[in-house]
A and B are shown apart, each in its own frame.
Chain A
């Protein structure tokens, strides 16, 4: 059994982009988690910034509840611009 806590790793691949989840690792504390994340996930200069977050701090939606959870957005097609007929020849709309 692994006594070290699990950390989720997020990498910003370059300035201007947001941090994106890339995976996780075990480490005894935050500082080592950062160092290990650097070695595990950015050996080829994949990033310019790293975040590590204790996995136990992440609250996730329940996969079993997925349909009920996301359904409300399903019938709202009018949120998309393609829902509207634009008369022929109209630009910049």
Chain B
């Protein structure tokens, strides 16, 4: 079936189908950026594994960070169905030619940040990712189905951490509030620039890669998060949040997108640290990859 016909009928494009070059390039860029985000995203939370406050919390956090590594692998595999090579995508990340989500350029200063990340950052990621399960490119859509299934525990464990802190001692509650204060606005930025300034959006919508606009998804996130914050007993750092009966949505204040663009440019609090850590991990791991290759070559030789 022809590409345009497929899209018109809300069909799925599969790897062997013909597709326009621009569609392929857009998918590679988006899936690679998504994969890189999962991998870099292990760092802020990984920072707290050795200092988790209990064995239970530590086991949960390890399981979550391990899931994120898995998400990166599902996504690199989906990108490879488009004819690119994972090693090459990693090179592009390490050389700064491909990006990852800006949210991971913020530091995790306290244990409560791990809670805020699970609740807000994974929460926002879920809102972004659920529609991608119906993306027009089959392998990406199927990877997203797997990922979305795994995300829900991520968000719940974060909520639980904050709920525990918010109902603990005053210092614990203050720590939870501080984490939410710092992570709220960057989480709203995860949905990207406003619709009017979003360069790729219209084309991605036409291709069925994107199903809802940045602003619609941001609104959806605010609408589900405000009542959850009330249950936590924490405030969101935006005095303009209030229910708008007419719209049937919560109103909220304007997001400062100059901050988002600065972080994308490389000027966030942790950009350099995240990249340096990633590149070092890759280089320090070279001997493992070499040893594995040498071992399998030796075994093949012995079998021959």
* CB proximity to B under 8 Å, residues A58-92: 76, 78-81, 83-87, 89-92
Question: Smallest distance from the beta carbon of A67 to chain B beta carbons, Å?
Answer: 21
Question: Smallest distance from the beta carbon of A13 to chain B beta carbons, Å?
Answer: 12
Q: Is the CB of A76 within 8 A of B63?
A: yes
Question: Smallest distance from the beta carbon of B19 to chain A beta carbons, Å?
Answer: 13
Known contacts: A16-B11, A83-B153, A84-B153. The answer to whether A91 contacts B163 by CB under 8 A is no
A contact face: mostly helix, strand, loop, or mixed:
loop
Q: Is the CB of B12 within 8 A of A78?
A: no
Nearest CB in chain A to that of B10: its residue: A16
- Of the candidates A49, A80, A81, A84, which one forms a contact with B14 in the assembled complex, judged by CB atoms under 8 Å apart? A49
Residues of B within 8 A of A90 (CB): 159, 227-228, 231
Q: Is the CB of A81 within 8 A of B11?
A: no
* 14 sampled A-B residue pairs with Cβ under 8 A: A15-B6, A15-B12, A16-B138, A16-B141, A49-B14, A49-B16, A81-B152, A86-B156, A86-B159, A87-B163, A87-B231, A90-B227, A92-B228, A93-B156
Q: Assuming A90-B159, A91-B228, what are 18 further A-B pairs, CB within 8 angstroms? A: A15-B11, A15-B12, A15-B14, A76-B63, A78-B56, A78-B60, A78-B63, A78-B153, A79-B67, A79-B150, A83-B156, A84-B157, A85-B160, A86-B159, A89-B231, A91-B224, A91-B227, A93-B155
